[in-house]
């Protein structure tokens, strides 16, 4: 696929993918995709990533139900980072928060600025 040929995967065959809430604009998470995950994302319309710890491709929300419907996919100037705008079902973060970026720098500390959804 010509789409894949313009993506510069790193030396482990991965590219970082930023997931942004299409409606609110909030950055929800960053994960990695291999070529197969990009293809599956395009084929199904739902975000797929590659888990470096589990060493396998996975559909986001396959066990939690917290799926991500892709509204748009973008490639950066260097071709080595993907941005997807998504419609998120449930919290994006495995800690049950809306976003994985729930810690903010304040002075020399990271402060938790968002509690998990109950």
43 binds a copy of itself (CB under 8 A): no
**Reduced to 3 states, what is the DSSP secondary structure of residue 39?**
helix
16 binds a copy of itself (CB under 8 A): yes
Maximum Cα–Cα distance for the chain, whole Å?
Answer: 47
DSSP state of 50: E
The region of 43-51, 59-67, 91-99 touching a copy of itself under the rule CB under 8 A is 91-99
Can you tell me the distance from the alpha carbon of 92 to that of 84, in angstroms, rounded to the nearest whole number? Answer: 13
**Among residue numbers 53 through 72, which ones bind a copy of itself (CB under 8 A)?**
72
CA torsion 42-19-16-62 (nearest 10°) is: -60
Of 97, 96, 108, 82, give the one whose Cα is nearest residue 19.
82
25 binds a copy of itself (CB under 8 A): yes
Binding characters for a copy of itself, 95-114, by CB under 8 A (x = yes) = x-x--xxxxxx--xxx----
- Contact footprint for a copy of itself (CB under 8 A): 1-3, 6, 16, 18, 20, 24-27, 29-30, 42, 72-78, 81, 83, 93-95, 97, 100-105, 108-110
């Amino acid at each position: 696929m010509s789409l894949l040929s313009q993506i510069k995967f790193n030396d482990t065959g991965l590219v970082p993918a930023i997931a942004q809430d299409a409606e609110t604009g909030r950055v929800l998470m960053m994960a990695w995709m291999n070529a197969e995950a990009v293809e599956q994302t395009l084929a199904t319309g739902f975000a797929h990533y590659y888990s470096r710890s589990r060493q396998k491709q996975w559909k986001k929300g396959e066990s939690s139900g917290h799926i991500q419907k892709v509204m748009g996919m973008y490639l950066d100037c260097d071709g080595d980072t993907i941005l997807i705008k998504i419609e998120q079902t449930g919290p994006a973060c495995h800690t049950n928060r809306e976003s994985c970026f729930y810690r903010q720098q304040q002075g020399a500390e990271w402060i938790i600025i968002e509690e998990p959804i109950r």
